[in-house]
Amino acid sequence: MEEHGKKLGMLNIFGLGLGGAIGSGIFVLLGFGIGYTGRSIVLVCVGGCLFMLLAYMYNVIMSSMFVFKGGDYSQKALLFNPTMTGFSATMALVNSMAMSSYALGMVNYISAVFPGVAPFTRPVAVLIMTLFFASTLRGSRFITLLENAMTVILIGAIAIFVIFGMPQVRPDYFSNADGGFFHGGFAGFVSAIAIMGWACQGTTMAPVSMVAVTEKPKKTIPLAILWITVALAVIYGLMSIVAAGVLPYDQVAGANLGATAKAIFPNSIYVVFILGGGVFAIATSLLGGIAMFRYPLMKIAEDGWLPPVFKKTTKGGFPWVIQLAFYLLSVMPILLGFSLDSIISLVMIPSMVMNVYLNMACITLPKKYPDQWKKCALRMPIPVYNVICVLSAACAGVVAFNLFKDLKGKDIIASLVILAICVGFSLLRIHTGAVKKEFLEENKKAIIVQALADDEA
């Protein structure tokens, strides 16, 4: 269905993208980043936004060449070979495990106000997951209302955190005292960038999804992504100074923002920040993820990447098999006792491996689509372009490698098993004929035909 009306401009895309980029990840992971690198977390957050922009450079490059209605999904479909298409499809299931990090993050914040909850972290996290999945059974309209409020609440919580906290940052912030700059050396700094990648990675997703309804999208989208990245770096930089600079290192390393919030806020504002900011921000992200994940999973099942049983629905059309599998995968890391940072790593590692492939695949675009390259908003000398593609792939590879090397024994095994399952399952579905290579090629052709038609419209 075509969408009519006034097209979106730069400010529209900037606002939408910044709102989508400022997520609950910063509330959940900032303490882990401080643990790795101390007060140089400010450099991690500022530099990490640029680093993760490079890791997702294929989003920027392709949106400057094509008008894809399917956003990131269409971009991947065009760049992937059959095996990687299946890898991406299986990764959608793996990504559902990240939902457990939201539940654990909520319990951590709730425990800051109600310490009695802490000994029951696992059962409470599973209960939260169960209740949130149950709330989406009938697609309640309040989900949309909560999601609309998320950005306002996030920005409000961040604003009061920075306003109250900056005057209380210790004067020795730039000293080499315990927990000072580069506390864990260069290796710790890079590890911090890798773990903070989850919080810094969202600058491209929302703008790319809006290409088809944006005015002059091949210029507007890349430029908006750049400004979103700069704004996010400033916001996260300010937050990190407060988070690392008010209390001693040993009190904030590995802790959520509640530790610093307790020190800088009067008790009444502290409770509001924890429950209204931290808990609600994470809760709305969890709710939105549960509500939205099932649609791409349904498409993946319809395309044959999952066994036919996954296409079963109730009489009312609810995909109960997919949602049940989604739920079980979401609670599995909690039941197995994975830590919050380990869960993020298990999801990020396959994603970054996929980004290495996507960024390298962009090297072929100018030769395959010379007309689009001539009109590309980012057109540059081919050698420079190739260097950027390789550098972007390297950034994604660095994140994947550093997340992997920091994993513990059982987490390393789990990560390798996940990668093997994603590749093996893709090869199996193609080999058994469940997914036809001819279908994938036809789909790729249809995507490019549609993109060219929209470009000319």
User: How many angstroms from the chain centroid is the CA of residue 23?
Assistant: 9
| Residue 8 lies inside a defined structural domain of this protein | no
DSSP letter, residue 115: G
Measured on CA atoms in the order 244, 246, 247, 249, is the torsion positive or negative?
Answer: positive
Residue with tokens 């927990």: 179
- Measured between alpha carbons, how far is 8 from 86 in angstroms, rounded to an integer? 33
- Measured between alpha carbons, how far is 359 from 354 in angstroms, rounded to an integer? 9
CB atoms within 10 A of CB 176: 12
The predicted structure's pLDDT at residue 360: 93
- Measured between alpha carbons, how far is 336 from 331 in angstroms, rounded to an integer? 9
Q: Are 34 and 41 in contact (CB under 8 A)?
A: yes
Q: Look at residues 175, 348, 170, 155 and name the one whose alpha carbon lies nearest to residue 234.
A: 155
Which spans in 96-137 are helix H?
99-113, 121-135
| Residue 7 lies inside a defined structural domain of this protein | no
Strand partners, 214: 8
- Measured between alpha carbons, how far is 389 from 380 in angstroms, rounded to an integer? 12
Q: Are 365 and 60 in contact (CB under 8 A)?
A: no
Quote the tokens at residue 116.
């009695």
The predicted structure's pLDDT at residue 137: 65
Strand partners, 8: 214
| Residue 118 lies inside a defined structural domain of this protein | yes
What is the phi/psi pair of residue 173, to 5°? -55, -40
| Residue 456 lies inside a defined structural domain of this protein | no
Range of 420's domain?
17-450
Burial of 134 (0-12, 13-18, 19+ CB in 10 A): exposed
What Cα–Cα distance (Å) separates residue 174 from each residue in 46, 137, 171, 180? Answer: 16, 51, 8, 7
- Measured between alpha carbons, how far is 371 from 239 in angstroms, rounded to an integer? 44
Q: Quick: pLDDT tens for 97-142.
A: 878 888 888 888 888 888 898 899 899 999 988 888 877 665 544 4
| Residue 2 lies inside a defined structural domain of this protein | no
- Measured between alpha carbons, how far is 179 from 45 in angstroms, rounded to an integer? 16
Number of domains in the chain: 1
DSSP letter, residue 434: S
- Measured between alpha carbons, how far is 78 from 83 in angstroms, rounded to an integer? 13
Quote the tokens at residue 99.
């939902």
| Residue 286 lies inside a defined structural domain of this protein | yes
Q: Quick: pLDDT tens for 209-264.
A: 777 677 888 888 888 888 989 988 998 999 999 998 888 888 888 888 888 888 89
List the CATH number of the domain containing 104.
1.20.1740.10
Using alpha carbons only, what angle is made at residue 48 by residues 263 and 286, rounded to the nearest 5 degrees? Answer: 65
Quote the tokens at residue 281.
């921000």
CB atoms within 10 A of CB 132: 22
Q: Are 284 and 149 in contact (CB under 8 A)?
A: yes
One pLDDT digit (tens) per residue for the chain, 457 residues: 444 446 777 787 787 777 667 767 787 788 889 988 888 999 998 988 888 888 989 888 888 888 776 667 677 778 888 888 888 878 877 777 878 888 888 888 888 888 898 899 899 999 988 888 877 665 544 454 555 566 677 778 888 889 999 999 888 877 767 667 888 888 888 888 888 887 787 777 777 777 767 788 888 888 888 898 998 899 899 999 999 888 888 888 888 888 888 889 888 888 888 887 778 777 777 776 676 666 667 777 877 888 888 888 877 777 788 888 888 888 888 888 887 777 778 788 888 888 999 999 999 989 988 888 888 878 889 999 999 999 999 999 988 888 888 777 778 888 888 888 888 888 888 888 888 888 888 877 777 777 766 665 5
| Residue 4 lies inside a defined structural domain of this protein | no
What is the phi/psi pair of residue 214, to 5°? -110, 140
- Measured between alpha carbons, how far is 254 from 274 in angstroms, rounded to an integer? 17
Burial of 314 (0-12, 13-18, 19+ CB in 10 A): exposed
The predicted structure's pLDDT at residue 371: 85
Residue type, 358: L
